[in-house]
């Protein structure tokens, strides 16, 4: 069987997750990596036994052996690198956000029009949890009736203290939105996936709870803690919290809030879909369980069990019930569905993938911009 050869650009926190996911796919082979920090890339190459470690992105792009390139760089580099990958004729799997703004992501879509053979994906990984896929199928099969309301949140605490710092705080690198762009887009993607509908109208309130932070002199990894006593005080220009009311194109009303300053919450992405017959609730911190709520019988908590799942969702679950599957598995599923789409010879012109495409990534940037606008003008904004 043919194996797809992969290259990874950026070997920080998320780059390593991609590398490990590729390694778990039988028909994929990780052949090369690169990082702006060449020493780090070399260490990773040794640790993971990656045959080629390039000094520059251009060298990696010029490698004829490579079919797929993962863009795991910081946000401000996504656009240029995505463009280069497409122009090098490689399939591209990018971290979110695709670009700094929707003008840039729109330009990527234009470039893709002239490169129709390229398969493009964005890492909205939460949609690929087995139970999120199962909920999608249940909603589609009308099990909860017609969806009426959607609500939930995504809460973290890794930026609670004023001594917490990471490149995501800097709008030059992260972009004009942090909390909404970084984790709100995951929530919106998950909810759009399970309902099969789009958010089209938003009304938002954003808040910077910690307006000044102590930026350490050393570089701190995402979720890392700085031990440095040397710092400079900086003004924070992006939001720590956001609340959004919304309407979807199928009439569903919704509300969600996101925070990176909620003590004790780590990766607390949860949503509930309330339908005319019943409700379903799922939380990423307990990913193997979903709650089903009823008006006319007892509520129940259902444990992920491949034996009783829909065939569509079962393709994304591997372990027997009681053997937890979680965040890394969902990320693997996302990357697997991307590679499977390519190896099966499918085309984004004709086939609908389970993973998020650049089209979806572009729409999520437009949603983020509408949320920023709504917060600014204190009014509802159409996307
Ligand atoms: C930091 O908030 C972060 O790593 C996000 O950037 C990821 O997208 C999310 O999955 C986990 O948290």
Res 220: pLDDT: 77
Sheet containing 381-382: order of strands:
300-303, 289-294, 278-283, 268-275, 147-155, 253-259, 241-248, 199-207, 381-382
Q: Kindly state if the Cβ of 185 falls inside 6 Å of ligand 1.
A: no
In this structure, are residues 169 and 235 in contact, taking their beta carbons and an 8 Å threshold?
no
CA of 51 to the centre of ligand 1 (A): 29
Q: Kindly state if the Cβ of 156 falls inside 6 Å of ligand 1.
A: yes
Q: Kindly state if the Cβ of 183 falls inside 6 Å of ligand 1.
A: yes
Q: Which residues have a Cβ under 8 Å from the Cβ of 201 and sit 6 or more positions away? A: 246, 247, 380, 381, 382, 383
Q: Kindly state if the Cβ of 182 falls inside 6 Å of ligand 1.
A: yes
Give me the sign of the Cα torsion angle 33, 109, 362, 99. Answer: positive
Instruction: Report residue 187: phi and psi, to 5°.
Output: -65, -45
List the helix and strand counts (H, then E) for the chain.
12, 17
Taking domain 127-321+356-382, whether its CATH number is 3.30.360.10 is answered by yes
Q: Which fold has domain 4-125?
A: Rossmann fold (3.40.50)
Domain ranges of the chain: 4-125, 127-321+356-382
Same fold across 4-125 and 127-321+356-382: no
Closest CA to 241 of 369, 111, 371: 371
Q: What is the pTM of this model?
A: 0.97
Owner of token pair 């840039």: 104
In this structure, are residues 24 and 332 in contact, taking their beta carbons and an 8 Å threshold?
yes
Q: Kindly state if the Cβ of 9 falls inside 6 Å of ligand 1.
A: no
In this structure, are residues 331 and 21 in contact, taking their beta carbons and an 8 Å threshold?
yes
CA of 331 to the centre of ligand 1 (A): 12
Res 222: pLDDT: 76
Q: Kindly state if the Cβ of 95 falls inside 6 Å of ligand 1.
A: no
CA distances from 62 to 24, 32, 68, 74, 321 (A): 25, 11, 12, 22, 45
- Strand blocks (E) in 47-141: 52-54, 68-71, 91-94, 120-122
Q: Kindly state if the Cβ of 300 falls inside 6 Å of ligand 1.
A: no
Block means of pLDDT (10 residues each) for the chain, length 383 residues? Answer: 95 97 98 98 98 98 98 97 98 96 97 96 98 98 98 98 94 96 98 98 98 89 76 96 98 98 98 98 98 98 98 97 98 98 97 98 98 98 97
CA of 182 to the centre of ligand 1 (A): 6
Task: Pick the atom of ligand 1 nearest to 96's CA.
Answer: 8
* DSSP summary character for residue 168: G
In this structure, are residues 174 and 240 in contact, taking their beta carbons and an 8 Å threshold?
no
CA of 183 to the centre of ligand 1 (A): 6
In this structure, are residues 124 and 97 in contact, taking their beta carbons and an 8 Å threshold?
no
Nearest CA, atom 9, ligand 1: 183
Owner of token pair 């990082």: 35
d(CA 92, CA 374): 32
Residue 117: strand, helix, or coil: coil
Nearest CA, atom 10, ligand 1: 183
Res 105: pLDDT: 97
CA of 209 to the centre of ligand 1 (A): 19
Task: List, in sequence order, every residue forming a beta bridge with 205; answer none if it has no partner.
Answer: 243
The two most distant CA atoms of the chain are separated, in Å, by 63
d(CA 380, CA 383): 10
Task: List, in sequence order, every residue forming a beta bridge with 9; answer none if it has no partner.
Answer: 34, 71
Res 118: pLDDT: 98
Q: Kindly state if the Cβ of 222 falls inside 6 Å of ligand 1.
A: yes
């Amino acid at each position: 069987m043919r194996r797809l050869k992969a290259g990874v650009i950026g070997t920080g926190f998320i780059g390593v997750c991609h590398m490990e996911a590729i390694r778990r796919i039988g028909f994929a082979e990780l052949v090369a990596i690169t990082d702006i920090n060449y020493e780090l890339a070399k260490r990773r190459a040794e640790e993971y036994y990656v045959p080629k470690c390039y000094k520059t992105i251009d060298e990696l792009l010029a490698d004829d052996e490579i079919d797929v390139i993962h863009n795991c760089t910081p946000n401000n580099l996504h656009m240029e690198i995505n463009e280069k990958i497409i122009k090098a004729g490689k399939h591209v799997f990018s971290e979110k956000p695709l670009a700094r703004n929707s003008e840039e992501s729109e330009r990527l879509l234009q470039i893709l029009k002239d490169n129709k053979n390229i398969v493009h994906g964005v890492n909205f990984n939460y949609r690929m949890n087995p139970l999120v896929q199962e909920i999608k199928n249940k909603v589609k099969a009308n099990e909860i009736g017609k969806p009426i309301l959607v609500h939930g949140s995504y809460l973290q605490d890794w930026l609670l203290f004023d001594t917490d710092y990471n490149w995501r705080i800097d709008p030059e690198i992260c972009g004009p939105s942090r909390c909404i762009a970084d984790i709100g887009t995951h929530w919106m993607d998950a909810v759009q996936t399970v309902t099969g509908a789009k958010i089209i109208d938003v009304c938002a309130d954003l808040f910077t709870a910690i307006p000044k932070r102590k930026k350490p002199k050393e570089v701190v990894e995402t979720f890392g803690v700085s031990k440095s006593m040397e710092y400079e005080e900086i003004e924070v220009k992006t939001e720590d919290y956001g609340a959004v009311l919304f309407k979807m194109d199928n009439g569903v009303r919704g509300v969600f809030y996101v925070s990176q300053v909620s003590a004790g919450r780590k990766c607390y992405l949860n949503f509930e879909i309330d339908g005319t017959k019943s409700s379903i609730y799922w939380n990423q911190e307990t990913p193997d369980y979903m709650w089903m709520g009823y008006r006319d019988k007892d509520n129940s908590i259902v444990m992920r069990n491949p034996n009783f799942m829909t065939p569509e969702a079962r393709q994304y679950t591997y372990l027997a019930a009681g053997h937890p599957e979680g965040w890394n598995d969902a990320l693997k599923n996302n990357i697997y569905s991307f590679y499977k789409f390519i190896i099966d010879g499918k085309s984004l012109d004709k086939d609908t993938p389970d993973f998020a495409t650049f089209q979806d990534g572009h729409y999520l940037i437009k949603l983020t911009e509408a949320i920023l606008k709504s917060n600014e003008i204190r009014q509802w904004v159409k996307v």
